[in-house]
């Protein structure tokens, strides 16, 4: 088994880095302050084919794998985690590609790949459990379609999305999660859909995150993704990929913070030496670099396994858990290496530190990741359905 990237994968990584280094630095801090989505950069990233690379060529994408998507993600988040959010404009469309009808794929995927439309994904209950078995959005079958009611807090792109993939409870009397939920495509402009964007977020402030409510939203049958009752399995497949993306985000955030620390250690002088002269700083930098390398190879493996059709939810959860926790620790340590300057908003370490916290919560929290990992060896008999 090898860990070397192919020439094509190295080229993709380098192209993503060049794009990010050219486009992000000038606007990143400003859009973070204003909490503004980078529309122009998103358009350019789509034109150059960086967004939704997993979308098959028949539907306007590059038809690449999870690993390639992750390589781009790492490079974008390395340069600026806030701007990396432009990649999330296709977040959730994987469920249309994997479970949708040919008509749904042809209608929804090409505009996302071209940068004409943005999608959001509303999956979990806002009642505090983080499990879809407690989803608070309900779909009722009525005449020739469905009526949807409920709300979802914290939806990425919620306030700017042209459409949503929404996972609802469609059969509340059924206790089997693999029959209880269904996934739908809901237009952002459908009557009864309302989004309110959150202000004053801690991190990833250029990403729009909103509370989305669905009030008597009427959908035709053709908006159901796959079969009625297949929502849970579609979501599980999607979450597996999403966890590996998050792991690549964490690798990028940590690497970007390390880049800043190395530069600072060479430049900042104390007691007559650059601070990189002191052993205390060597140890910190060496430990950070070692953790990042471990995280990177874990996501390479988890992403490659998905691309080889051997999805492994334990490994994906491990990759996400480690990357999220490492990025939180690394960004805190990089602030320490910067001393007083690390505490100031004029430099980037504090922004990377804030952005890293997002990764510990997005999709399942790191605590839930631990539950998935433990369940893989303790079994459902002891731990129940997660
Ligand atoms: C910035 C941001 C963006 C998001 N984007 C999206 C999105 O695009 N689409 C979407 O559907 N969702 C999104 N989410 C929602 C996210 O998926 C949930 O916030 C997350 O799953 C946690 O759920 P919760 O907020 O209800 O926390 P809770 O479930 O209330 O958890 C609170 C705390 O209790 C712990 N906890 C809960 N249950 C257990 C348990 N069984 N065992 C151990 N500990 C437990 C949690 O780990 C956490 O520490 C986003 C969230 C944020 C913050």
Give the DSSP letter of residue 88: G
What 3-state class would DSSP assign to 269? strand
Q: Nearest-CA neighbor of 95 among 184, 3, 218, 205?
A: 184
State whether the beta carbon of 158 lies less than 6 angstroms from ligand 1.
no
**What H or E segment, with its residue span, contains residue 206?**
none
With b for 16 or more beta-carbon neighbours within 10 A and e for fewer, the 210-222 pattern comes to: bbbbbeebebeee
Distance 124 CA to ligand 1 centre (A): 8
Residue 136 has pLDDT above 70, yes or no: yes
Answer yes or no: is pLDDT of 386 > 70.
no
Compute, in angstroms, the gap from residue 213 CA to the centroid of ligand 1. Answer: 18
Domains in the chain and their CATH numbers?
Answer: 7-114 (1.10.540.10), 119-228 (2.40.110.10), 233-383 (1.20.140.10)
Q: Please report how the helices 231-267 and 279-307 are oriented relative to each other, as an axis angle in degrees rounded to 10.
A: 150
Atom of ligand 1 nearest to the CA of 129: 29
* Percent of the chain scoring above 70 in pLDDT: 96
- DSSP letter at 117 equals -
Alpha helices in 135-230 (DSSP H): 177-180
Dihedral, CA atoms, 286, 287, 288, 290, nearest 10 degrees?
Answer: 80
Distance 7 CA to ligand 1 centre (A): 38
Half-sphere exposure of 209 (CA within 13 A, CB side): 17
Give the position, in ligand 1's atom list, of the atom nearest the Cα of 386.
41
Q: Give the Cα separation of 54 and 58 in Å (integer).
A: 11
| pLDDT score of 130 | 43
- Residue 385 confidence (pLDDT): 59
The confidence score (pLDDT) of residue 379 equals 86
Instruction: Quote the pLDDT of residue 179.
Output: 87
CA nearest neighbour of 209 among 217, 200, 218? 200
Average pLDDT over residues 33-56: 96
pLDDT tens-place string over residues 120-134: 999 865 333 445 544
Nearest partner of 302 among 244, 368, 253, judged by Cα? 244
Q: Is the CB of 166 under 6 A from ligand 1?
A: no
Cα(180)–Cα(187) distance, integer angstroms: 23
With a 6 Å cutoff on the Cβ, whether 367 touches ligand 1 is yes
pLDDT of residue 2: 74
| pLDDT score at 281 | 98
Distance in Å, CA 237 to ligand 1 centroid: 18
Report the DSSP beta bridge partners of residue 169: 138, 181
Ligand 1 within 6 A of CB of 198: no
- Cα separation of 253 and 256, whole Å? 5
Residues labelled as active-site residues = 363
Cβ within 8 Å of residue 70, ≥6 positions away:
244, 245, 247, 248, 299, 300, 303
Q: Is the shortest distance between the CB of 368 and ligand 1 below 6 Å?
A: yes
Pocket flag, ligand 1, residue 365 (CB < 6 Å):
yes
For 271-325, what is each residue's pLDDT tens digit? 999 999 999 999 999 999 999 999 999 999 999 999 999 999 999 999 999 999 9
Question: Could you tell me the distance, in angstroms and rounded to a whole number, from the CA of residue 62 to the centre of ligand 1?
Answer: 32
d(CA 19, CA 285): 27
Do 168 and 150 form a contact (C-beta atoms < 8 A)? yes
Token duo for residue 55: 């979308």
Round the CA-based radius of gyration of the chain to a whole number and report it. 21
Ligand 1 atom 44: residue of nearest CA: 367
> Exposed (0-12), middle (13-18) or buried (19+): which is 385, by Cβ within 10 Å?
exposed
pLDDT, one tens digit per residue, over 196-251 is: 999 999 999 999 999 999 999 999 999 999 999 999 999 999 999 999 999 999 99
- Is 58 touching ligand 1 by the criterion CB < 6 Å? no
For the entire predicted model, the pTM comes to 0.95
Q: Which atom of ligand 1 is nearest to the CA of 152?
A: 11
């Amino acid at each position: 088994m090898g860990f070397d990237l192919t020439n094509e994968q190295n080229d993709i990584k380098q192209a993503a880095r060049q794009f990010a280094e050219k486009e992000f630095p000038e606007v990143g801090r400003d859009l973070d302050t204003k909490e503004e989505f980078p529309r122009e950069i998103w358009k350019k990233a789509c034109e150059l084919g960086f967004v939704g690379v997993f979308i098959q060529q028949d539907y306007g994408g590059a038809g690449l794998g999870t690993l390639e998507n992750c390589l781009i993600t790492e490079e974008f988040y390395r340069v600026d985690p806030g701007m990396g959010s432009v990649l999330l404009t296709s977040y959730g469309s994987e469920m249309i590609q994997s479970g949708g009808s040919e008509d749904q794929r042809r209608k929804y995927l090409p505009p996302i790949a071209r940068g004409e439309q943005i999608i959001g994904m509303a999956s979990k209950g806002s009642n505090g459990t983080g499990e879809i078995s407690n989803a608070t959005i309900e779909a009722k079958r009525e005449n020739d379609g469905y009526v949807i009611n409920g709300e979802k807090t914290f939806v990425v792109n919620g306030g700017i999305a042209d459409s949503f993939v929404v996972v609802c409870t469609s059969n509340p009397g059924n206790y089997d999660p693999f029959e209880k939920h269904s996934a739908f495509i809901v237009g952002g402009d459908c009557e009864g859909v309302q989004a309110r964007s959150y202000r004053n977020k801690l991190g990833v402030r250029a990403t729009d995150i909103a509370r989305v409510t669905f009030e008597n939203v009427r959908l035709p049958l053709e908006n159901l993704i796959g079969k009625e009752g297949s929502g849970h399995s579609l979501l599980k497949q999607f979450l597996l990929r999403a966890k590996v993306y998050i792991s690549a985000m964490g690798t990028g955030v940590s690497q970007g913070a390390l880049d800043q620390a190395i530069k600072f250690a060479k430049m900042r002088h104390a007691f007559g030496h650059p601070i990189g002269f002191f052993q205390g700083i060597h140890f910190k930098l060496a430990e950070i670099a070692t953790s990042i390398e471990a995280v990177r190879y874990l996501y390479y493996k988890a992403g490659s396994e998905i691309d080889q059709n051997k999805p492994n939810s334990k490994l994906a959860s491990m990759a996400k858990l480690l990357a999220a926790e490492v990025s939180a620790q690394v960004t805190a340590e990089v602030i320490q290496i910067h001393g007083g300057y690390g505490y100031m908003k004029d430099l980037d370490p504090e922004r990377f530190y804030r952005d890293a916290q997002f990764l510990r919560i997005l999709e399942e929290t790191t605590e839930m990741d631990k539950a998935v990992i433990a369940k893989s060896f303790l079994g459902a008999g002891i731990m129940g359905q997660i």
